[in-house]
Structure 1
Amino acid sequence: MFGIYLKRELSRRKKAALVIAMGLALGIALVITVNSVSAGMTQAQDKVLKSLYGLGTDMTVTKARSAPKAGSSQGPRFQFDAKSYSKTSQSSDRVMTQGGQALKSSLVQRVAAQKGVASAVGALSLNVTKVDGSFTQGKAQSSGGGQQGGPGGSGGGQPQVQGGGANFDVNSYSVAGVDVTDQALGPLATMKITSGKTFTSAQTDAKVAVVSTSYAKEKKYKAGSTFKISGTEYTVIGIATPDSSESTTDVYLPLKQAQSLGDAKNKVTTIYVKATDSKQIATVKKTIQSNISGTTVTTSSDLASTVSGSLSTASNLATSVGKWLSIAVLAAAFLVAALLTSSAVSRRVREFGTLKALGWPSRRVTRQVVGESVVNGLIGGGLGIALGLAAAYAVTAISPKLTAQLGSTGGGMGGGPGGGPGGGGPGQQAAKNTVEIALSAPVSVTTIALAVGLAVAGGLIAGAMGGWRASRMRPADALRSVS
């Protein structure tokens, strides 16, 4: 009886049912769209952090670089020995550590021994500035034709230098020293070898290198190619491609080789840390900071706060404005559905009064109204899910491009989570590390379940208001409404 009456009443009031369902559908569709776009923003930020932070890395330990002393210069200096009256080729490499202040390699074991730390790996970030070209020595020629007189005589013209000059190319690239015994953590963790091979655990001090795809393309390197850094020849054994975005490191060397080039024996600039439990990262951070003074511990959440650009702007809009807007629209949809249901009940006075006169108790009338409203809510939920999925698919299909820049986490830190792979860390790589990410809008099962729950909730709210009003009607009301 309940089902038959429900079906008949909904069939009679198709237009009113559709209006209520569409109102709920729009609110639910907006909630699905905002949630899916927010999930896409989170995935995009994860890609940025993963490519710059290191796969499996929960935090990094660095040390802020101290301010240079007055009068000292930490900039690169080049000295050449140009021979007179000759055209001589010159080439020089300037290798400098980048990121934060160098740390002792023994600190890696101290960090690994802290409670809550699963593993720790050290890395050294270098920047190589290569200058090569040639000087051409000019020749001194007299500007006058006469001879120079004696002590009391008049002299000839002053000699002038003619010709000569210099032509130099400057090339700067980043180098990361990698602990080849544990490549699952650190700079190479986010890289995939697409040509050749990676380091073996025995190549701790071998003169071999892995280069990024972009740098290999620029220099036309392939597996087996050789190049020199400060006179030391290295053989390319592999070409590495980042899992996402662009690589911020050009050349990867075994850690000992990088330490030798940078005159940083037994030194690292970044320690990559993996926690035993991802839920205890904040606790592990405090433990390291309290037990190892003078260091800066940066977690992935700290790094996420430094991401700027259109990705950050869009994420903030989706999180704040978008969610509040969806809540406001959903509340309005619920209110409209409740008012429309209540209004429909007021137009059914004769019907409900007659049913009560025939012996229907108030609870049965209320149940009938709530049942109709829940069905309207489920219809609205179905339409809302369809609209939300269509909107999410459209965002994914269009794939709007967003940019993300990694900025400094503050505290005077020159290096950070990006210090290893990027060579300069967030503080120095903010302008350089501009990553372009294609936005997607994935819809999870949780979001669908939320939509169904909202649909049922909307129907119950509307039915509760309408049922309460219907239950208060008296059979005499039906007689008074007869004209």
Structure 2
Amino acid sequence: MFFTYLRRELRRRRKAALVVASGLALGIALVIIVSSVSSGMNKAQDKVLESLYGLGTDMTVTKAAAAPGSGGNERPRFEFDAKDDEDETQSTDRVMVQGFQTLAATTVDKVGKQDGVAEAVGGLSLTVMKVDGQFRRGEFKQDESSGQGGQGGPGGGQGGGNGQPQGRVEGGGASFDVNSFTVYGTDVTQQGLGPLTSSKITKGRTFKATETDAKVAVVDSAYAKEKELAVGKTVTVSGTKYAIVGVSTADSGDAAANVYIPLKQAQTVADSKDKVTTVYVQASDSQAIDTVKAAIQKNISGTTVTTSADLADTVSGSLSTASDLASSVGKWLSIAVLVAAFLVAGLLTSSAVSRRVREFGTLKALGWKSGRVTRQVVGEALVNGLMGGVLGIAVGLAGAYIVTAVSPTLTAQLGSTGGGRGGMGGPMGGGGPGRQTASKTLDIALTAPVSLTTILVAVGLAVAGGLIAGAFGGWRASRLRPADALRRVA
């Protein structure tokens, strides 16, 4: 009897049921779209952070910035030998530790022994500047106004009787090219942590654990294309040739370094034996990152610890703006629409009950108890809510699919900050005096993945909407009396 009456009433009031279901569907669809876009924002931001310090890295440890005026400000110097042959090319290389700040290699072991640290790996970040070109001598041009009688004057000079040449030097100068690229010394025995983990080997192979001091290299695909490098060729770093064994491509489109070589080789070319610039740390528990950071700062003096949360604060651009909108404006807009939809559904259901006074009054006169009438109204409202849930899920999934299909491009601006690249002390950090890094912009394609949790939340909202609407109508129906129906009939 319950389901028969329920089906008949829903058919008879299709328009009202559709209005209630549509209102709930709008709120549920908005929740799904905002949730999926927010999830896509989080994944995009994680992708940006991985490009900075590598997959699995929870924090990095770098040397604390030197105080102003303490002598940490170094400048690269280039020296050239004097050569008589002006056409001969002058060339010199300068290998610089990025930031001019290094830690003792023993720091890696100290960090690894701290409570809560699962793994610690050291790396050495370098910048190689190669300067080559030629000096050109100038030519002496005699002034025509100086006359011809100046030849053979006192001292054999040219020009007037004072023996000084009358003219000027024209031309001359220098033409030099500066080629700068980044080199990262990686611990080949522990390749599961650090910047190279954010790249995939697309050609050749990665390092072998036995190549701790081998003259081998992995080059970034963009740099390899620019310099026409390939597996089997060599790349020269400060006069030392390294055989290219692999080409890597960064997942985010941003390479951590142009060239990767074994850590010992990097220490050799930089004259930084037993030194590292960065210690990459993976915590054993992601919930204890702040605790691990505090322990490292307390127990290992002279270091700066930067977590991924610290680095996330330096990301700006449209990605950051859109993320803020999705997490704040979008969330509150979803809540407002849901509340409005629930209220409208409740009011419409209550209004429908008031129009069915004669019907419910008659049913009560025939023996229906107030609880049965209330269950009937709640059942109808619950079905309307479930209909709205199905419609809202369909619209929400369609909206998320459109966002993923369009894949709008967002930019992530990595602003200047302390502690190496992007604040994590990575291979690309400038880290000079004041440990400032140049800003960098990444383009990230936005997706809107829909999780099972989001679908379950949508179903829960649909049920809640139906129950709220039913509560309004059921409360109104329970207050009806059979006498009301008799007055309507009369």
What TM-score comes out, normalization by structure 2 length? 0.93
| Distance in structure 2 (CA, Å) of the matches to 1:361 and 1:100 | 85
Determine the structure 2 residue equivalent to 1:399.
Answer: 407
Pairwise CA distance, 1:205: 1.6
Q: Does 1:345 align with 2:353?
A: yes
Cα shift readout 1:31-54 (whole Å, capped 9, x = no counterpart): 000000000001111111112121
Pairwise CA distance, 1:407: 2.7
Q: In the alignment, residue 441 of structure 1 is paired with which amino acid?
A: A
311-320 vs 243-252, greater mean Cα deviation: 243-252
Q: In the alignment, residue 137 of structure 1 is paired with which amino acid?
A: R
| Distance in structure 2 (CA, Å) of the matches to 1:277 and 1:207 | 37
Pairwise CA distance, 1:418: 4.3
Determine the structure 2 residue equivalent to 1:300.
Answer: 308
Determine the structure 2 residue equivalent to 1:61.
Answer: 61
| Distance in structure 2 (CA, Å) of the matches to 1:471 and 1:446 | 36
| Distance in structure 1 (CA, Å) of the matches to 2:392 and 2:310 | 37
Pairwise CA distance, 1:115: 1.0
Q: What secondary structure, in the 3-state scheme, does the structure 2 residue paired with 1:32 have?
A: helix
Determine the structure 1 residue equivalent to 2:363.
Answer: 355
Cα shift readout 1:77-120 (whole Å, capped 9, x = no counterpart): 21212424622201111211114721000000000011111111
Q: In the alignment, residue 489 of structure 2 is paired with which amino acid?
A: V
Pairwise CA distance, 1:244: 2.8
Q: Decide whether the 8 Å contact of 1:207 with 1:257 is kept in 2.
A: yes
Cα shift readout 1:216-244 (whole Å, capped 9, x = no counterpart): 00000011212322222222111111233
Pairwise CA distance, 1:150: 4.2
195-204 vs 364-373, greater mean Cα deviation: 195-204
Question: 1:265-284 alignment to 2 at 5 Å?
Answer: 265-284=273-292
Sequence identity percentage: 68
Q: Decide whether the 8 Å contact of 1:125 with 1:269 is kept in 2.
A: yes
Determine the structure 2 residue equivalent to 1:15.
Answer: 15
Determine the structure 2 residue equivalent to 1:421.
Answer: 427
Pairwise CA distance, 1:385: 0.3
Determine the structure 1 residue equivalent to 2:218.
Answer: 210
| Distance in structure 2 (CA, Å) of the matches to 1:71 and 1:287 | 29
| Distance in structure 2 (CA, Å) of the matches to 1:408 and 1:251 | 23
| Distance in structure 2 (CA, Å) of the matches to 1:255 and 1:290 | 28
Q: Does 1:187 align with 2:195?
A: yes
Distance 1:458 1:338, change over 3 A: same
Q: Decide whether the 8 Å contact of 1:416 with 1:425 is kept in 2.
A: no
Pairwise CA distance, 1:158: 3.1
Q: In the alignment, residue 441 of structure 2 is paired with which amino acid?
A: T
| Distance in structure 1 (CA, Å) of the matches to 2:448 and 2:250 | 23
Q: In the alignment, residue 404 of structure 1 is paired with which amino acid?
A: A
| Distance in structure 1 (CA, Å) of the matches to 2:100 and 2:354 | 73
Determine the structure 1 residue equivalent to 2:2.
Answer: 2
Determine the structure 2 residue equivalent to 1:477.
Answer: 484
Q: Decide whether the 8 Å contact of 2:306 with 2:419 is kept in 1.
A: no
Question: 1:142-221 alignment to 2 at 5 Å?
Answer: 142-143=142-143, 144=146, 145=148, 146-147=150-151, 149-150=153-154, 153-221=161-229
Q: Decide whether the 8 Å contact of 1:147 with 1:155 is kept in 2.
A: no
Cα shift readout 1:232-274 (whole Å, capped 9, x = no counterpart): 2222111111233321310001111111222211111110011
324-333 vs 256-265, greater mean Cα deviation: 256-265
| Distance in structure 2 (CA, Å) of the matches to 1:88 and 1:428 | 38
Distance 1:65 1:95, change over 3 A: farther
Determine the structure 1 residue equivalent to 2:446.
Answer: 439
Q: Decide whether the 8 Å contact of 1:41 with 1:315 is kept in 2.
A: yes
Question: 1:229-268 alignment to 2 at 5 Å?
Answer: 229-268=237-276
Cα shift readout 1:328-385 (whole Å, capped 9, x = no counterpart): 0000000000110010000000001001111111111110000000000000000000
Q: Decide whether the 8 Å contact of 1:88 with 1:136 is kept in 2.
A: no
| Distance in structure 1 (CA, Å) of the matches to 2:76 and 2:100 | 17
Q: Decide whether the 8 Å contact of 1:62 with 1:100 is kept in 2.
A: no
Q: Decide whether the 8 Å contact of 1:84 with 1:137 is kept in 2.
A: no
Distance 1:467 1:174, change over 3 A: same
Q: In the alignment, residue 302 of structure 2 is paired with which amino acid?
A: G
| Distance in structure 1 (CA, Å) of the matches to 2:392 and 2:445 | 26
| Distance in structure 2 (CA, Å) of the matches to 1:85 and 1:440 | 61
Instruction: List gaps (5 residues or longer) in structure 2.
Output: none
Distance 1:221 1:321, change over 3 A: same
Instruction: List gaps (5 residues or longer) in structure 1.
Output: none
Pairwise CA distance, 1:187: 2.3
Q: In the alignment, residue 460 of structure 1 is paired with which amino acid?
A: L
Determine the structure 1 residue equivalent to 2:231.
Answer: 223
Question: 1:40-51 alignment to 2 at 5 Å?
Answer: 40-51=40-51
Q: Decide whether the 8 Å contact of 1:100 with 1:413 is kept in 2.
A: no
Q: In the alignment, residue 428 of structure 2 is paired with which amino acid?
A: G
301-310 vs 27-36, greater mean Cα deviation: 301-310
| Distance in structure 2 (CA, Å) of the matches to 1:253 and 1:60 | 20
Q: Decide whether the 8 Å contact of 2:412 with 2:444 is kept in 1.
A: yes
Cα shift readout 1:172-199 (whole Å, capped 9, x = no counterpart): 1111110111111112222221112221
Q: Decide whether the 8 Å contact of 1:85 with 1:136 is kept in 2.
A: no
Determine the structure 1 residue equivalent to 2:463.
Answer: 456
Q: Does 1:325 align with 2:341?
A: no
Cα shift readout 1:24-80 (whole Å, capped 9, x = no counterpart): 000100000000000000111111111212111111111233146389862222121
Distance 1:72 1:138, change over 3 A: farther
Q: In the alignment, residue 151 of structure 2 is paired with which amino acid?
A: Q
Determine the structure 2 residue equivalent to 1:74.
Answer: 74
Q: What secondary structure, in the 3-state scheme, does the structure 1 residue paired with 2:489 have?
A: coil
Q: Does 1:128 align with 2:134?
A: no
Determine the structure 2 residue equivalent to 1:92.
Answer: 92
Q: In the alignment, residue 454 of structure 1 is paired with which amino acid?
A: L
What TM-score comes out, normalization by structure 1 length? 0.95
Determine the structure 2 residue equivalent to 1:386.
Answer: 394
Q: Decide whether the 8 Å contact of 1:100 with 1:419 is kept in 2.
A: no
Q: What secondary structure, in the 3-state scheme, does the structure 2 residue paired with 1:274 have?
A: strand
Q: Decide whether the 8 Å contact of 1:149 with 1:156 is kept in 2.
A: no
Pairwise CA distance, 1:23: 0.4
Distance 1:420 1:70, change over 3 A: closer
| Distance in structure 2 (CA, Å) of the matches to 1:350 and 1:7 | 19
